[in-house]
Amino acid sequence: MKWGAYKSGLDIETYTKLSREAVCYGKKVYRRNGKRIVLQYIGLSFDIEYAFWNFYHPDDPLQANEIIKFEDGNRENLDISNLSKHKKTYTPKPKRALSEYDREYLEFCKEAIQYGKQSMSKGRRYLYYKGKSIAIARALWNLWHPEDPVRITEVIHHKDGDRLNDSYENLQKIEAGKHMKLHVEERRENKKMNIGKNLHNQTKNSNDKP
């Protein structure tokens, strides 16, 4: 399981080990005007309270759904008694009320699906209507989910990776940044698989030679 709170891409076990080493060998750096303190070690940054918790509690390391709080509010006080572990709490944001622009946009999507001209671009299907173009996946989502339309910071993700499969169950609305990260991870995994296949083929070919 990846620890999504950190951009290192390390698994929890490796992150825990390195964060403990950062307590001994890392360099303390202040960020956000002192509101955040990190330890820099081997090119990675570790929140100082997380690193010290893992250092003090090797049998109870911090998990992906947990955070560390300072009991007295002082980030400089890293005594073991001043650090406490808590579960993360998530409060979903209330849905924004539809504006007049949203309603006009939803109406445009509906009309584009009925009367728009289809075209292809970069492996995606688009609708061209009234001098504007819109991805069919985006228009369909708005048609099927008028109470939760795609915002300007959001995109539509095809769950099975097929951009031509615009079926209801295959579409997922997601933040643009998360969507980009998702595909970066997919390309990284595909690259690893291709490297593995090439090595396997090279080994097989060398073994087949007389």
Q: In whole numbers, what is the pLDDT of the chain averaged over residues?
A: 84
Structure token digits, residue 52: 């010290």
The full set of domain ranges for the chain reads: 12-87, 98-210
At 209, the pLDDT band (50, 70, 90 cuts) reads low
Query: What is the reported pLDDT for 46?
Result: 87
The Cα 45–Cα 30 span in angstroms is 11
CB neighbours of residue 39 within 10 Å = 23
Least confident piece of the model among 90-99, 116-125, 151-160, 179-188:
90-99
Residue pair 129/119 in contact (Cβ under 8 Å)? The answer is: no
- Percent of the chain having pLDDT more than 90? 47
| Architecture label for domain 98-210 | Alpha-Beta Complex (3.90)
- Better-scored residue on pLDDT, 94 or 172: 172
Higher-pLDDT residue of 143, 33: 143
Question: How does DSSP classify residue 130?
Answer: T
The segment with the largest mean pLDDT, out of 124-128, 193-197, 198-202, is 124-128
